[in-house]
Structure 1
Amino acid sequence: MVQGFSREPGVQGPLTEVPPQGIRKITLWAVAIALGGFLFGFDTGVVSGALLYIREDFDLNAFEQGSVVSVLLIGAVVGSTSAGALAERLGRRRSLCLVGVVFLVGTVIVTSANGYAILMLGRIVLGLSVGAASATVPVYLSEISPTAIRGRLLTMNQLMITLGILIAYFVNLIFASSEMWRAMFAVGAIPAVLLVAATLWLLPESPQWLIARGRVEQARRGIASVTNEVTADQLVKRAQQRIEEDRTQQAARKAAGSAAEGPKRLLAPDVRPALIVGLTLAAVQQFGGINTIIYYAPTIIQQTGLSASNSIFYSVCIGAINLVMTLVAIRLVDRAGRRPMVLVSLALMAVSVFMLGLAFVVGMSSVLTLLFMVIYIAAFAGGLGPVFWTLIGEIFPPSARADGSSVSTAVNWVSNFIVSLAFLPLAGAIGQGETFWIFALICALAFFFVSRYLPETRGRDPEQIEAALQQRFGRTRRRQAARTH
């Protein structure tokens, strides 16, 4: 059996002593939940191939090309910042159902666009969907995951993102000869329909969310479906007691004038280190340059002298490497730990993107250019990419998890927006190679930040993670000094 209950209420949801058949059921739920991540990945990848033909149909300049890619991110910022409150009000399950419906609406608008303005509107609507999904999926996964497989299930989100990117590249390749960019986007309706169907007929609501709202019997039935009736009764009682204790403590802090609620809770001294780490990693994951490769892979490869169709073919290879390395990360995350994987990832990313920049500056062969791109993608997918989503589901305490995930995801999307919008104009102004060197510097600085401030979270409960973060930020020593004086 897998032990998964923590001393804090609602860490992974009230799940413990889960037998193998229960684990299989939870894993199936995790795959269905992560369809939201698949939509994120598909829309990220499909625009890279479609852009080669959209720019000709609508006669787009460099800025307009960048805006078609990046305007989705404006919607994603709004979607992700709204996701926390929406998930608390409607529940995780209904929120993901709404994500699928909104994605379908955006797909219809994009595929029927007759000009630049309508295309931009459709991309914004798609952004609302993928932004909300990216903030909700990690929270939902963390609340159904037993501790022993928590890292594996939380990285399921990144796996589905990379799978979505790879499928999008294949879709681009299939329709490249006919230049049917509308059909490329239309395929995205399939996973959106599957997500809506899964939320309506397969997925349960988060037991944590149900118990916190007094829907105890529904939560008990959900837990019993993966354990047994006796265990479910015991776990629900324990969860109720711990939630009540948490509320009592919160009320005491509020009476003393030291409690904060909602998003303000993120600024409380006990949560602030987690917020700093979450926001920094969210920004670094994008300012390290990953989505310039994902969004513009065919465009970049085309600049090495290959044709548009060949560029799309090689981007499929890059997507395959992305998927394979994400699978490797899933195998390692509960064994090697989060912190070592992020450090190795950042080091390799810094070196490979520096060499990619050098390849463009000195005019290396297309083979070497592709090699450095592949190493960079592999380094990201084997570490920072999936582990970031694991960490934002772990570093925040239960009382701030939904808001912490929401704001971290919003910063991730804002950073994505800035990088994707600025990449082509910046590369045109200072050179593509020199732009990649900026990404290399950011990766190097992030390496030193992580080595100093990120503790290991594998196998730890929220109290232990909070204590480790406080120690990393020197707050434990300051508290001890204050008590001494």
Structure 2
Amino acid sequence: MVQGFSREPGTHGPLTEVSPEGQRKITRWAAAVALGGFLFGFDTGVVSGALLYVKQDFGLNSFEQGSVVSVLLIGAVIGATSAGRLSEGLGRRKALGTIGVVFIIGTAIASTANGYLMLLAGRVVLGLAVGAASATVPVYLSEISPTMIRGRLLTMNQLMITLGILIAYLVNLAFASSEMWRAMFAVGAVPAALMVAATVWFLPESPQWLISHGQADRARRGIASVTDRATADALVARAQDRIAAERRKEEERKENSGPGDRGARKLFTPDVRPALVVGLTLAAVQQFGGINTIIYYAPTIIQQTGLNASNSIFYSVFIGVINLVMTLAAIRLVDRAGRRIMVLVSLALMAVSIFMLGLAFVVGMNSVLTLLFMVIYIAAYAGGLGPVFWTLLGEIFPPSVRAEGSSVATAVNWVSNFIVSLAFLPVASAIGQGETFWIFAGICVVAFFFVGRYLPETKGRDPEQIEAALQSRFGRESGRRATHAG
């Protein structure tokens, strides 16, 4: 809390050790707020099975099918772009509660749709909630996480995303025989209601937000509830000093550059620019590496190997299980192995496996080999780039622009998602499905070299140390002078 019980700059021990009971309390808060991640996964995954029956009921052509999937992403871009101001204005807790209400409204519209246009409207509303949740949850988790378990708690968001996808696949399977696609969508109202209830009765406000909005006493009480009073006083005092210093720097920038949007302008300052470049690039790569062509179209892809619709949904459940299992493995590794090595290994394995998946379609391998390559690809993604991207999103931006930085990076993630998901079927029809997967493999290779050059390790580091390491990677003088900046 207050920047993760962070270390003093230049030291090697944590400022404080959170009590076991305090860690359990923080973990419960993280699990509750990660319901936003669960809904993110559920509402992006459930359409893969529902689409097989919606297209029959509404007589959808290939463009309309693609738009039912991808229109959620338009809403997500808007939601992600708005999330920074929403969470800064209302506070993280109230913003999350508002997002939960929007999830409920979108679910109601989609599950009662009487035609194509109403279904599109429901998916847009769900997209607003999905985008806002994907930008806000990592910020909140980062701001309540002690340094020693920060990676695990931030990775919990991806765990809940993958759990949401798996549950969506299982829900699809449960209703496949009856072809009840409305029920598939409607199940999402349950976790949305739980999310709203958690924000009303359970979750505290982020101490970082409270301090930056002049409510230091509330922040102090919240921190003291998981540690001790002396530590709470020290952390609040340090946060206040940092916020005061950042505001002085901002006043100097205003005098030099004139009026403008404070959050947006600060993202382009020399101190923040390396974090912005890394964040936006990883946000794009996570989607242009091809993951959601598998998540959204898994049943459709498997069906093209010769299996019927019900069997395609059944086999897609295995993909969801592997996704969940490997995310659990990533949670155990992220605070041990480190973020950078996990992303590098993940990208290398993704490149090889999706290349082989493309080859399977080009030469006509059987459905077992096709499914095998899909599973390996999902395992590589879920064990590295998938969860670690969201971890890094909560770490690389300085506290003063974390909400804005997360919002912009998440918006780029959703724009990339939209482009890939909308273009996948038409491009695959034009040049071949296997050749399309080879494009994704090439992007993974380029991303591997980018990460090797520009992404520093963030494990166990405070914001000051992470900023210095990023500056060093981008060849800036302040980074080269910093210690432990590699």
Q: Same fold (TM over 0.5)?
A: yes
Partner amino acid, structure 1, of 2:222: G
* Structure-2 residue corresponding to 1:126: 126
* Structure-1 residue corresponding to 2:386: 385
Mapping for residues 262-273 of structure 1, pairs under 5 Å:
262-273=263-274
Q: Does 1:429 align with 2:423?
A: no
* Structure-2 residue corresponding to 1:89: 89
- Aligned pair in 2 of structure 1 residues 109, 413: CA closer, same or farther (>3 Å)? same
- Tell me the distance in 2 between the aligned counterparts of 1:193 and 1:40: 14
* Structure-2 residue corresponding to 1:11: none
Q: Does 1:219 align with 2:219?
A: yes
* Structure-2 residue corresponding to 1:405: 406
SS at match of 1:268: coil
Q: Does 1:454 align with 2:449?
A: no
Q: For each residue in 1:254-304, what CA deviation from the matched residue of structure 2 results, as whole angstroms up to 9, or x when unmatched?
A: 445599821111111111111111111000000000000000000000111
Contact (CA 8 Å) 1:3, 1:17: kept in 2 or not? Answer: no
Partner amino acid, structure 1, of 2:27: T
Q: For each residue in 1:133-162, what CA deviation from the matched residue of structure 2 results, as whole angstroms up to 9, or x when unmatched?
A: 000000000000011111111011100000
Q: For each residue in 1:429-482, what CA deviation from the matched residue of structure 2 results, as whole angstroms up to 9, or x when unmatched?
A: 1111111011001111111111111111111112221121112112229999xx
- Tell me the distance in 2 between the aligned counterparts of 1:268 and 1:244: 18
Q: Which moved more, 1:391-400 or 1:87-96?
A: 391-400
Contact (CA 8 Å) 1:352, 1:372: kept in 2 or not? Answer: yes
- Tell me the distance in 2 between the aligned counterparts of 1:267 and 1:183: 46
SS at match of 2:446: helix
* Structure-1 residue corresponding to 2:238: 238
Partner amino acid, structure 1, of 2:20: P
* Structure-2 residue corresponding to 1:74: 74
Q: For each residue in 1:34-71, what CA deviation from the matched residue of structure 2 results, as whole angstroms up to 9, or x when unmatched?
A: 10000000011100000000011011111111000000
* Structure-1 residue corresponding to 2:304: 303
Q: Does 1:17 align with 2:17?
A: yes
Contact (CA 8 Å) 1:173, 1:309: kept in 2 or not? Answer: yes
- Tell me the distance in 2 between the aligned counterparts of 1:337 and 1:152: 11
Q: Once the 2 structures are TM-superposed, how far is the Cα of residue 252 of structure 1 from its aligned partner? A: 3.8
> Structure 2 unaligned runs (5+)?
482-486
Partner amino acid, structure 2, of 1:462: P
Contact (CA 8 Å) 1:15, 1:144: kept in 2 or not? Answer: no
* Structure-2 residue corresponding to 1:27: 27
Q: For each residue in 1:401-441, what CA deviation from the matched residue of structure 2 results, as whole angstroms up to 9, or x when unmatched?
A: 11110000000000000000011111111111111011001
SS at match of 1:155: helix
Partner amino acid, structure 2, of 1:222: G
* Structure-1 residue corresponding to 2:476: 475
Mapping for residues 260-339 of structure 1, pairs under 5 Å:
261-339=262-340
Q: For each residue in 1:165-218, what CA deviation from the matched residue of structure 2 results, as whole angstroms up to 9, or x when unmatched?
A: 000000000000000000000000000000000000000000111111111222
Q: Does 1:195 align with 2:195?
A: yes
Partner amino acid, structure 1, of 2:30: A
- Tell me the distance in 1 between the aligned counterparts of 2:113 and 2:286: 32
> Structure 1 unaligned runs (5+)?
9-13, 481-485
- Tell me the distance in 1 between the aligned counterparts of 2:80 and 2:7: 27
Q: For each residue in 1:197-256, what CA deviation from the matched residue of structure 2 results, as whole angstroms up to 9, or x when unmatched?
A: 000000000011111111122212211211133432333233323322332333344445
Contact (CA 8 Å) 1:3, 1:18: kept in 2 or not? Answer: no
Partner amino acid, structure 1, of 2:109: I
- Tell me the distance in 2 between the aligned counterparts of 1:170 and 1:158: 18
Contact (CA 8 Å) 2:8, 2:15: kept in 1 or not? Answer: no
Partner amino acid, structure 1, of 2:289: G
Mapping for residues 151-230 of structure 1, pairs under 5 Å:
151-230=151-230
Q: Which moved more, 1:72-81 or 1:448-457?
A: 448-457
Contact (CA 8 Å) 2:32, 2:198: kept in 1 or not? Answer: yes
Contact (CA 8 Å) 1:288, 1:443: kept in 2 or not? Answer: yes
* Structure-1 residue corresponding to 2:484: none
TM-score, scaled relative to structure 2? 0.94
- Tell me the distance in 2 between the aligned counterparts of 1:56 and 1:398: 49
* Structure-2 residue corresponding to 1:483: none
Partner amino acid, structure 1, of 2:44: T
Partner amino acid, structure 2, of 1:447: F
- Aligned pair in 2 of structure 1 residues 433, 399: CA closer, same or farther (>3 Å)? same
- Tell me the distance in 2 between the aligned counterparts of 1:109 and 1:118: 7
Q: Once the 2 structures are TM-superposed, how far is the Cα of residue 3 of structure 1 from its aligned partner? A: 8.1
* Structure-2 residue corresponding to 1:46: 46
- Tell me the distance in 2 between the aligned counterparts of 1:467 and 1:230: 29
* Structure-1 residue corresponding to 2:100: 100
* Structure-2 residue corresponding to 1:463: 464
- Tell me the distance in 2 between the aligned counterparts of 1:185 and 1:292: 20
Q: For each residue in 1:14-47, what CA deviation from the matched residue of structure 2 results, as whole angstroms up to 9, or x when unmatched?
A: 9943111000000000000110000000011100
Contact (CA 8 Å) 1:3, 1:16: kept in 2 or not? Answer: no
Contact (CA 8 Å) 2:6, 2:462: kept in 1 or not? Answer: no
SS at match of 1:394: coil
Contact (CA 8 Å) 2:144, 2:207: kept in 1 or not? Answer: yes
- Tell me the distance in 2 between the aligned counterparts of 1:470 and 1:371: 41
- Tell me the distance in 2 between the aligned counterparts of 1:479 and 1:3: 25
* Structure-1 residue corresponding to 2:360: 359
- Tell me the distance in 2 between the aligned counterparts of 1:229 and 1:281: 39
Partner amino acid, structure 1, of 2:246: D
- Tell me the distance in 2 between the aligned counterparts of 1:476 and 1:215: 37
* Structure-2 residue corresponding to 1:112: 112
Partner amino acid, structure 1, of 2:61: N
Q: Once the 2 structures are TM-superposed, how far is the Cα of residue 392 of structure 1 from its aligned partner? A: 1.0
Identity of aligned residues (%): 78
- Tell me the distance in 2 between the aligned counterparts of 1:273 and 1:211: 26
- Tell me the distance in 2 between the aligned counterparts of 1:235 and 1:113: 50
Contact (CA 8 Å) 2:327, 2:382: kept in 1 or not? Answer: yes
Partner amino acid, structure 2, of 1:356: L
